[in-house]
């Protein structure tokens, strides 16, 4: 399936707009990074935000009308609005709704209804069908794509997240196709799916993805520390970055590019430390020579080649986003909080300096404008000058390896797993701050082991005690099956699946 893409032609407008923006060379890194109060930057909403489709508006309105009207505020105080490139969707603080004595049930039409209904769907690979009933608890996410419900399986009490999106009958759903390909401990599991018709407009078809429920996100987890004026403990930074590297290595091995890596799309269980990558609504299996849209990925985490209009990019755009997430975990706020695409480039250049002609050609070989002001790179120790204590040298080294202008110069996620920054995770004595052992990190699947054809790399990533079959810590499963769903009592904070 091809994206709708423009040409990779030279973009004089970008250079002209860039030159019209003032860059204070004496400041170097943006003053937004040097904020001792660590207040999270709130990105301005774009003036050209697209309007939600009538179908999506009706879906969201119907969800709110059918749910109980006891609404509890879910705003965090540090909530920001990110520009969503592909859909120009506006990130909203999800509405948390408490249920009343009469629980809502997601009916076969996909809408909450006051009485219990059953949904028949195929839940395993041998084609056996099972009838499941879902009790809808509340809306936990919404956007231009549709709505996400938190629900309970009536028969088992298991918590699930049901992502409901409008399905164009003319096309296959790319997210569904990709989710069916994925099975990994650090990727949110799709349990099954079903289709439903619109309640008011029966001709409309909706796809419902039944996903495992994970209670928190890296974004909210980070905000908790930011609001208190502290930093995310380094063990969590390592743990989250490592698991994200592992998930990206897995999907990239199948040529799948996520195209929207950001803290909001990284689900975590704060008790166990397990991270799962979610929201594959923008993901695509890249094909060499096939053009892709360049207006993709949330702005703060958008790779520079996308800003330069490249349509022949690679999975390395996810690696840039990974670097942005790592930097945000270290500094407590986005590294490059641009207010527009051009301002985003300004923020990047303030830290990395002006890209060379060769680097610009590596990002987009058809870009012919090179008239940018010459700005020297900003030392990373000055970027983190207000962080006490300073990040360890290994963290800065990994960050530099990820945030390279040239996509081919960025360290790949598989190689990043062997970086010394993650050595603490390989220590059998390492524990979470709550005293619990680290989650399974070396339960590599057969596919992952096949990728580790280099013995030296394998021994750097996997501790010797696992390779020798010794016990200690969390033993590798080798099965490749995702971790069991996180269920039980539903916490007050909803997950974001958009």
Establish whether the linkage from the previous residue to 400 is cis, with ω within 30° of 0: no
Pair 205, 183: CB distance under 8 Å: no
Q: Which two tokens stand for residue 474?
A: 């969390």
229 φψ region: left (φ > 0), alpha (ψ -120 to 50), beta (else): left
How many CB atoms are closer than 10 A to CB 117?
13
Q: Could you tell me which of 414, 378, 385, 416 has the C-alpha nearest to residue 399?
A: 416
The residues that bridge with 208 in the sheet, in sequence order, are 164, 194
Max distance between CA atoms of the chain, in angstroms, equals 66
Q: Angle at which helices 393-402 and 316-331 pack, to 10 degrees?
A: 150
User: Is 129 annotated as contributing to ligand binding?
Assistant: no
CA torsion through residues 359, 361, 367, 373, sign: positive
Provide the 3-class DSSP secondary structure of residue 157: coil
DSSP for 385-415 reads TTSSSPPPHHHHHHHHHH--SSGGGSPPHHH
- Active-site positions read 260
DSSP 2-49: PPP-------HHHHHHHHHS---TTT-S-TTT--TT-PPP-PPPPTTP
Can you say how many angstroms the Cα of residue 450 is from the centroid of all Cα atoms in its chain?
26
The 10 Å Cβ neighbour count of residue 156 is: 10
Q: Are 328 and 222 in contact (CB under 8 A)?
A: yes
User: Which residues are part of a known binding site for ATP?
Assistant: 164
User: Which residues are part of a known binding site?
Assistant: 164
């Amino acid at each position: 399936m091809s994206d709708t893409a423009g040409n990779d032609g030279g973009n004089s407008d970008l250079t002209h707009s860039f030159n019209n923006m003032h860059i204070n060379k004496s400041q170097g890194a943006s003053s937004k990074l040097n904020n001792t109060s660590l207040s999270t930057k709130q990105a301005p909403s774009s003036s050209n935000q697209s309007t939600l489709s009538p179908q999506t508006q009706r879906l969201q309105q119907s969800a709110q009308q059918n749910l109980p009207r006891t609404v509890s505020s879910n705003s965090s105080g540090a909530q920001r609005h990110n520009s969503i490139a592909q859909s120009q969707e506006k990130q909203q603080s999800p509405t948390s709704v408490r249920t009343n004595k009469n629980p809502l049930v997601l009916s076969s039409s996909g809408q909450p209804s006051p009485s219990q209904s059953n949904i028949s769907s195929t839940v395993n690979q041998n084609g056996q069908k099972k009838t499941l009933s879902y009790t809808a608890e509340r809306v936990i996410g919404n956007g231009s794509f549709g709505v996400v419900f938190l629900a309970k399986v009536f028969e088992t009490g298991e918590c699930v997240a049901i992502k409901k999106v409008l399905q164009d009958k003319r096309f296959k759903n790319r997210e569904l196709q990709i989710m069916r390909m994925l099975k990994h401990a650090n990727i949110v599991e799709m349990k099954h799916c079903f289709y439903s018709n619109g309640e008011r407009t029966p001709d409309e078809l909706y796809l419902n993805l039944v996903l495992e429920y994970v209670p928190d996100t890296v974004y909210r987890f980070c905000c908790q520390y930011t609001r208190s004026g502290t930093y995310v403990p380094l063990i969590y930074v390592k743990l989250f970055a490592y698991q994200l590297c592992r998930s990206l290595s897995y999907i990239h091995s199948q040529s799948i590019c996520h195209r929207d890596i950001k803290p909001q799309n990284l689900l975590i269980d704060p008790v166990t430390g397990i991270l799962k990558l979610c929201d594959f609504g923008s993901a695509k299996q890249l094909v060499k020579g096939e053009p892709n849209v360049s207006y993709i990925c949330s702005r703060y985490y958008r790779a520079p080649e996308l800003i330069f209009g490249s349509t022949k990019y690679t999975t390395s755009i996810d690696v840039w986003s990974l670097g942005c997430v790592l930097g945000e975990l270290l500094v407590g706020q986005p590294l490059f909080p641009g207010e527009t695409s051009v301002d985003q480039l300004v923020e990047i250049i303030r830290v990395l300096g002006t890209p060379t002609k060769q680097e610009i050609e590596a990002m987009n070989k058809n870009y012919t404008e090179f008239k940018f002001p010459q700005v020297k790179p900003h030392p990373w120790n000055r970027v983190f000058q207000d962080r006490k204590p300073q990040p360890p040298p290994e963290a800065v080294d990994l960050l530099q390896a990820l945030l390279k202008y040239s996509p081919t110069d960025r360290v790949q996620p598989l190689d990043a797993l062997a970086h010394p920054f993650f050595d603490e995770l390989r220590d059998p004595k390492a524990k979470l701050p709550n005293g619990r052992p680290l989650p399974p990190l070396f339960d590599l699947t057969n596919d992952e082991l096949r990728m580790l054809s280099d013995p030296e790399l394998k021994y750097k990533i996997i501790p010797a005690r696992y390779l020798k079959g010794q016990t200690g810590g969390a033993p590798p499963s080798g099965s490749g099956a995702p971790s069991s769903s996180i269920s039980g009592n539903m916490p007050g904070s909803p997950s974001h699946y958009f």
